[in-house]
Amino acid sequence: MVHAFKSDYESLSVWRLLSERGRSPLVQIQGTLNQLKYIEIMNQYELPFKADYHCRITDFVNQHDGYRPHRAKRYLNFWKRSK
């Protein structure tokens, strides 16, 4: 596990897609999440989930929290191309 800051506590980052049609696997994020790793997660888990359930990417609302990888230009371009 990677320490995100100096303290006695450890942190754990996870990602999961939840929808009325089901949910994706719970993904443990190794290391620090950056835009490239976030795109990799989308390619590996989100897009196949949507394809399996015959969803358009526009059927979902991403509830991002303003974290940098969610706002990065490369990710936003990826998101636009995936629609």
- pTM of the predicted model, to two decimals? 0.70
The arithmetic mean of pLDDT across residues 5-10, rounded, is 68
Confidence of residue 21 (pLDDT cuts 50, 70, 90): confident
pLDDT value of position 1: 57
64-80 pLDDT, tens digit each: 777 888 888 888 888 77
Confidence of residue 44 (pLDDT cuts 50, 70, 90): very high
Alpha helices (H) in the chain, listed in sequence order:
35-41, 47-52, 68-71, 73-82
